[in-house]
Amino acid sequence: IRILGIEGTAWAASAALFDAETDDVVIETDAYQPDSGGIHPREASEHMHDAIPEVVGRVLEHARETHDGSASEPPVDVDERSSSGQQAAPVDAVAFSRGPGLGPCLRVVGTAARALSQALEVPLVGVNHMVAHLEIGRHTSGFDSPVCLNASGANAHLLAYRNGRYRVLGETMDTGVGNSIDKFTRHVGWSHPGGPKVEEAAKDGEYVDLPYVVKGMDFSFSGIMSAAKQRYDDGVPVEDVCYSLQENIFGMLTEVSERALSLTGSDELVLGGGVGHNARLREMLAEMCAQRGADFHAPEPRFLGDNAGMIAVLGAKMYAAGDTLALEDSRVDPNFRPDQVPVTWRGRSER
Ligand code: ATP
C-alpha cells in the first residue's frame, strides 16, 4: 500500500508518501512563518494555497519515479467507484487531515485532497489530526496499547484506547500547551515559535514560584501564563521565568500522564506533538516511566510537529481497513475531536 498524505491544519503545508511494504516515509514540508505575532488564520491559509500544490507536486513526482507500475490489491470494502483507477495511479489513496485545525487552512487542504483523489481516481481517506499525532508514536514504537500524551500547539490531551475509540482521559481546560508558551514569548518580544527559545533560555534559569494547576486529569495553563508575564514585567530574569514555566507546565503534563498510566493499567507511554521536541519534557516523562517500570517512546523529530508523514501512516491503516470517504461526506471539521473517530483499523482482539 502506498499513500499520499496531506497535512495543513495550521502552519505546516506538508505532503508525504508512505510505503507500507518498506515502511519508508518521504515528507516535504513548507512552514508558514508569521512576520510578527502568532499564526494569523488568513495568512496561514494563503500559505497553504501557495505551498500545498508545490509540496504535493514534489511528493507525487517521487511517487511516480518509484512506482513499479503494478497495482496493490485493494482492500475488500473499498467501493468500486473510487478504486476504479487503481491500475495506473502511483498511490493507492489520498489521505488528508480533516481537523481539528484552522478552518480556512483545512478548506484548502480538503479541496486539494478531493481534487487529487478524483484526478488520480483513488479513494479519499479523512484523518483526524490528533489521532494521527498518537498513531505515529504507536507505529514507530511498536507498542500495543499505549497511553498517549499529545503535547502540540493548539492542544494538550491524554488519550487511551478503549472499546473502539480513543478516549480523552484528560485535557487542557483552556489553551493548548505550545500556544500558551508562544503567548508568553510574544509578550517578551521573541519571534514565533516560542517553544525552542524558552527551552534555550531555561538552561540558565533558576526556579521562581508560578501557579501549578491540575484538576483530576485535566489541567490549565492560563493562570500560569498570566503569572509568568507578570513576573517578567516585575523584572524577574527571563531565564528564571522560562525555567520555571517549563518545570511547572511539564510537571503538570507528567503528573497527569502518570495518573493515566495508573488508571488504565498500561505500561506504555508515547509522546506526540511539537512540544515533544523539548528535551526537558522528554526527560521528565522518561524518568516517571522508569520509576514505575513503564516504557516511554517519543517518535523521531520529523514526526513530532505537524507533518504529513503521520497523516499518510494512519491513512494507510484506515485504507487497509476499508475506511474511506465518499466525496459528499468529506467536509472538514475545525473542531474534530479524537473521541469522535470510530477506530476501524485496530485488530479485532484489541476492540
Ligand atoms: P495542533 O497539532 O494541536 O493542531 P500545532 O499545529 O500548532 O497544533 P505542532 O506542530 O504539533 O502544533 O507544535 C507546534 C508547537 O510546538 C509550537 O507552539 C511550538 O512553540 C512548540 N515547540 C516546538 N519546539 C519546541 C520546544 N523545543 N520546546 C517547547 N515547545 C516547542
| Ranges of each domain in the chain | 2-133+304-350, 144-302
Orientation of helix 103-120 relative to helix 41-66, angle to 10°: 20
Q: Is the pLDDT of residue 351 over 50?
A: no
Minimal-distance CA residue to ligand 1 atom 3: 154
Cβ neighbours of residue 309 under 8 Å, at least 6 residues apart?
A: 5, 14, 16, 18, 25, 27, 136, 302, 303
Cα–ligand 1 centroid distance for 278 (angstroms) = 10
Task: Kindly indicate the confidence band of residue 86, based on its pLDDT and cuts at 50, 70 and 90.
Answer: very low
- The C-alpha atoms of residue 192 and residue 196 are separated, in whole angstroms, by 9
Q: Is the pLDDT of residue 299 over 60?
A: yes
Which residue's C-alpha cell is 508518501?
17
Burial of residue 233 (number of CB atoms within 10 Å: 0-12, 13-18, 19+): exposed
Average pLDDT over every residue of 197-209? 97
Note the pLDDT of residue 2: 96
Note the pLDDT of residue 81: 44
Note the pLDDT of residue 335: 96
Which residue's C-alpha cell is 510537529?
305
Minimal-distance CA residue to ligand 1 atom 30: 195
1 close to 316: Cβ distance less than 8 angstroms: yes
The helix (run of H) or strand (run of E) holding residue 312 is helix 308-320
Q: Cis (ω within 30 of 0) for the bond into 100?
A: yes
Cα–ligand 1 centroid distance for 91 (angstroms) = 30
Cα–ligand 1 centroid distance for 89 (angstroms) = 34
Atom of ligand 1 nearest to the CA of 279: 27
Average pLDDT over every residue of 136-147? 94
Instruction: For the domain covering 144-302, report its CATH number.
Output: 3.30.420.40
Cα–ligand 1 centroid distance for 264 (angstroms) = 27
155 close to 172: Cβ distance less than 8 angstroms: yes
Fold matches, 2-133+304-350 and 144-302: yes
Q: What are phi and psi of 256, to 5 degrees?
A: -70, -30
The string of pLDDT tens digits covering residues 120-129 is 999 999 999 9
Cβ neighbours of residue 75 under 8 Å, at least 6 residues apart?
A: 319, 320, 321, 322
The string of pLDDT tens digits covering residues 252-265 is 999 999 999 999 99
Q: Is the pLDDT of residue 15 over 70?
A: yes
Q: Is the pLDDT of residue 326 over 60?
A: yes
Average pLDDT over every residue of 195-207? 97
Give whole-number Cα distances, 224 to 6, 101, 281, in Å: 35, 24, 17
Note the pLDDT of residue 37: 80
The ipTM assigned to this model is 0.97
* Topology at the third CATH level for domain 2-133+304-350: Nucleotidyltransferase; domain 5 (3.30.420)
